[in-house]
Amino acid sequence: MNLLVTINENYIYPFKIMLHSFFLNNPDERKVCVYLLHSEISGEKLNELELYCARYGARFVPIMVDSRLFDNAPTNKRYPKEMYYRLFAPLILPKDVERILYLDPDILIINPVKKLWETDLGGCVFAAASHAGLTEITTGINFARLNIDHEYYNTGVLLIDLNRARKITRAEDIFRCVNEYEKNLFLPDQDVFNVLYGKYTLPLEEVIWNYDVRNYSKYKLKSAGKYDSFWVMKNTAILHFCGKKKPWRKNYKNAFGFLYKHYMNLAEKAHDIVMEEYI
């Protein structure tokens, strides 16, 4: 299984937690290769990450990207340049990598993802979940704002058929899209993904593959009680800690935060280190 992350140094800590949760809950995955697209992570940190992956038996492949490519694209502290790298991944990753699972770092993996990895994409190039099914208002806004006529996908979990993606990914499309929609872009890379590639995307079941932890009550209500905490812990594979408030920071209130902090502790104990970065 190939995993892709596109983080900068600020997200190394949550990336480590995510990876720990992946390996604890996917013990049968033996051949895992973690690709990192980045621009500014130091050699020292990269070595440390390589060792971190090696302790799980995983290969680590960091790929440096020239960040000047995105000098003119909209970014800010919360949405750095690196977020665009997932859009460019098909052009940057080695040609022999055929399929990859992109994961945001603000994620906890609590059940096997094998079925996601083996998803039959049919005629599609990508697979992603929409968080819009539960908040139709947002969907409507996105339709108007971005002029799309399909679901608005969350790109925090994104399965990519790289062979096909290489055929449709063109840098000029991405830059043109950024320029064209600049003032309307809320989540720049995700918006661009939706505008350009939404139509090539297979919808995934969000409660299983990209569960927005802020929406527990909504999911439960909409499912007439089916998606209660038993169901979630048994069936949901990927918990996504979306939004501005993050579970590795102080004063995070969401109930899933306890689970996240338990994994922080498990990872810290497993690696016999104190990860101070989150303080």
Q: Would you tell me which residues interact with a second copy (CB under 8 A)?
A: 110-111, 228-230, 232-234, 250, 252, 255-259, 261-262, 264-265, 268
Given the structure tokens 């949405």, which residue do they identify?
79
CA distances, 89 to each of 161, 200, 240, 263 (Å): 11, 16, 21, 29
Q: What is the nearest approach in angstroms of a second copy to the Cβ of residue 2?
A: 24
Alpha carbons 15 and 193: distance in angstroms, whole number: 22
- Angle among Cα 119, 57, 162 to the nearest 5 degrees reads 35
Q: In one letter, which amino acid is 41?
A: I
Please say which residue, 107 or 185, places its beta carbon nearer to a second copy. Answer: 107
Q: What is the nearest approach in angstroms of a second copy to the Cβ of residue 268?
A: 8
Structure tokens at 67: 């960040």
Alpha carbons 156 and 159: distance in angstroms, whole number: 10
Q: What is the nearest approach in angstroms of a second copy to the Cβ of residue 116?
A: 17
Please say which residue, 134 or 275, places its beta carbon nearer to a second copy. Answer: 275
Tell me if 88 sits within 8 A of 75, measured CB to CB.
Answer: no
Q: What is the nearest approach in angstroms of a second copy to the Cβ of residue 54?
A: 20
Please say which residue, 178 or 238, places its beta carbon nearer to a second copy. Answer: 238
Alpha carbons 175 and 73: distance in angstroms, whole number: 8
Q: What is the nearest approach in angstroms of a second copy to the Cβ of residue 252?
A: 8
Q: What is the nearest approach in angstroms of a second copy to the Cβ of residue 157?
A: 19
Please say which residue, 89 or 109, places its beta carbon nearer to a second copy. Answer: 109
The alpha carbon dihedral of 37, 38, 43, 46 has a sign of: negative
Q: In one letter, which amino acid is 231?
A: W
What Rg value do the Cα atoms of the chain yield, rounded? 18
Please say which residue, 136 or 272, places its beta carbon nearer to a second copy. Answer: 272
Please say which residue, 70 or 211, places its beta carbon nearer to a second copy. Answer: 211
Q: What is the nearest approach in angstroms of a second copy to the Cβ of residue 201?
A: 29
Residue 258 CA, distance from chain mean position: 21
Select from 72, 41, 47 the least CA-distant residue to 60. Answer: 47
Tell me if 239 sits within 8 A of 113, measured CB to CB.
Answer: no
Structure tokens at 127: 């697979």
Q: What is the nearest approach in angstroms of a second copy to the Cβ of residue 131?
A: 20
